[in-house]
Structure 1
Amino acid sequence: MGTALRIDQLRKAYGATTAVDGLDLHVDEGQIVGILGPNGSGKTTTVECAYGLRKADSGTIRVFGVDSRAEPDRVARLVGTQLQDSALPDRIKVWEAVHLFAALAHRPVDEAEALHRWGLTGKRNASFASLSGGQRQRLLVALALVGKPRLVFLDEMTTGLDPQARREVWDLVAEVRGGGTTVVLVTHFMDEAQRLCDRVVVLSRGRKIAEGTPADLIDRCGGGTVARFPVPAQGRLPGLEGLPGVRTVARVDGRVEVRGQGPFLVALGHALTLAGQPGVRLDVTSPSLEDAYVRLIGEQETP
């Protein structure tokens, strides 16, 4: 597997404000990699520099081994993009936009197929201004892919979409990756990143603070799975701190809260049975990527 995107020591400032500060980012071919972070963390600036829309102050960017500074035209033929502030003229029709982008592409997709694939056939004669927010987003993503790019940047691609439309777009993006296109996804939706991404990179104040698979970050930073059950009215409560995988045990509002990882749920159930509490109902909460993200960002913002 080759490297689709390699960014080394990227720096970009706007006056006295440093947007990206020494960022390293490597994306393997065929992956979906998510870039996460709060507003102002450098996500969009990183993508705009990688795509060539903005000039980096320093650092190197290579797309499939091609230096983006030395050969920007060659890089442009390899990538597609849907940026956060993308827009089209109000009066352009959907089919005209697709036709225009296809005419400029090095190896365009079939235009009718693109409209059908992104659910826009029924809106082919509609103007951009008349589209709903979700329809505009689908059109902009379709335009990013009309040139069959080997690498595509998608920045907040499901903003404005209802839950059903978001899931349909997720399926299409997974299908795009299945066809061989590498995807760099900028998103504020943690469920989106957890569902789609092979790896995620978390930025804060222009720096990378964490990187790994969603499962890795959840395991390292999500706080572990939590099992809660009522404090037994009678009978003894076994010592739980020494059970395999248990991290913490606490009593909160009349309930026992056990936090752990790995096989601790099996060990906990066995211990409760031996203690004469086999009927205790466990309320189990598993951590999510959002839990890990909130903890990571919170640690950065704590003085």
Structure 2
Amino acid sequence: MEIRTKGQRQPPWLLTSYGVGNDKHSFYNVVENRFHVTSIPELRGKYICASTYGWLVLVNPSGDCCIWNPESMEKIELPNLPYPLDYTNCVLSKPPRDPDCYILFTSDSCRTFCQVGVDNEFFIEQLEAGGWFRIMSVATFKGNIYGILKDSFVTVHFVDGALELRPIEPWKFPHHLSAYYHARYKDYMIESPCKDELLLVHQFYSTSYRYNVFGFKIYRLDMCKMECEELESIGDRAIFLSGRGGGECCFSTEGIKANCIYYTELNGRKLHVYDLNDNGKTLLLPCPAARRSQSVNFWIEHQISQKFVNTKSK
């Protein structure tokens, strides 16, 4: 069992946006199995792309993009975002008020970025068909941005309006079991509550329906020893994955099952719990009022959710 220390990350809350123009918002506390429904003007008609440093990255279908702090109500406007609904990952290099903060969006076809508060437009790097150099997952860890390509790990750097991807040698992308050869998959790279490590979560789903998830493989990335190790168990930790690419990991508490993965779909109201002990799945409906398809889920940081802490029983 991992040693816990003071100040450990608290479990995130699940935000479900639903209704006409996503004008209603449900905040679900997994620990207490409670939710609070409200309507937040700043979130209406918006998609959440990232929840980090106490800020939310928001974008609407027209490409209007901003970074919003729910605690201070401060908003930082960003340039209009091209292809606003195509991105699968979003990351900030530093806190938004840091003068050297960059924001990066990635998709199957392009990488889009800008320096927050400085650039008047996003820089776009189009990718060739086949996506060999596509960043499959990206994360900020101790001042660096790490990314996963199809066959390697890289650090991401912003240099004169361009991205530089510098391979981390001799690391290579892990080879997966042949049983998964015909499966589709999605990668998540998230910070572990344990010191000096990231977790790489490889989510497998069937080719017939994207969210028919049938398995996970998890790797520990030791950033000091520069080693990659497959884990059979995550012990007394739990992982939370959003369909749009975000993820968190924390130690289990009362109400949070250890060695489990809580994951949502790209759209819809369902929350799934995958038990790594026996590969069993449990289905939850944290927001019964949301419609089956016309709603969006995203895990948000515990500190952000405290603004909406007045919950009511399900």
TM-score of the pair, normalised by structure 2: 0.30
Larger proportion of helix: 1
Larger proportion of strand: 2
TM-score of the pair, normalised by structure 1: 0.31
